[in-house]
Amino acid sequence: MASVRQAEPGSLRAPGFRWWHGIIIGLLLSYVPGSLLVAGVLLFPLVALKLVDPNADGQRIMIVLFYVGAAMVHPLHEAWLANGDWKTCIAQITQPVTLALDWLAAGAAWLVAEASAISGRLWNAEIARRERKSIEKRIAYLQEEWMSSDEDAPAT
């Protein structure tokens, strides 16, 4: 099985890249090169995220992909309507508004991912603090109950 084998130590292979990904990219490159150029340029923030934050997990990548994908809808639609015309595709990727929207979408996605992670940690810390406080109250009550029962016991 080719997908199960490990890559040789000296080979340059992108992580998670399979042989069929190359076939799909080759088919897209031969069928719609202009649209693939637009998609490649607009997906560049994902590459930048992976380079800047190598610890980015799949969940963070999916959040960024969702936001960037939303920003890619209009340029890809325009490229599709022009049948992948190079002039239209180059015009789409050289528009400053489109590029700014693409990078702002990636930034917003990163901000949402970080804020949700921080919020989740704060939420879990608050729940743990409440549980600890409840357990400490219960321990104090039981200690008082058991200590007072020893003092009230008749001496023999």
Q: What is the pLDDT along the chain (156 residues), one digit of tens a residue?
A: 444 455 555 555 556 678 887 888 788 777 778 888 898 899 999 888 888 887 888 888 888 899 999 999 999 999 889 888 889 989 999 999 999 999 999 999 989 988 998 999 999 999 999 999 999 999 999 999 888 765 665 655
Residue 25 lies in a domain: no
Q: Residue 38, exposed/middle/buried by CB under 10 A (0-12, 13-18, 19+)? A: buried
Which tokens is 21 given?
Answer: 């990904």
Residue 133 lies in a domain: yes
Q: Output the pLDDT for position 1.
A: 43
Residue 4 lies in a domain: no
Residue 84 lies in a domain: yes
Give residue 45's domain range.
Answer: 34-151
Q: Output the pLDDT for position 152.
A: 60
| Structural contact between residues 35 and 41, judged by C-beta atoms closer than 8 angstroms | no
Residue 103 lies in a domain: yes
Residue 14 lies in a domain: no
Which tokens is 114 given?
Answer: 């970080």
Residue 71 lies in a domain: yes
Look up the pTM and report it.
Answer: 0.65
Query: What total of structural domains would you count in the chain?
Result: 1
Q: Output the pLDDT for position 30.
A: 78
Residue 105 lies in a domain: yes
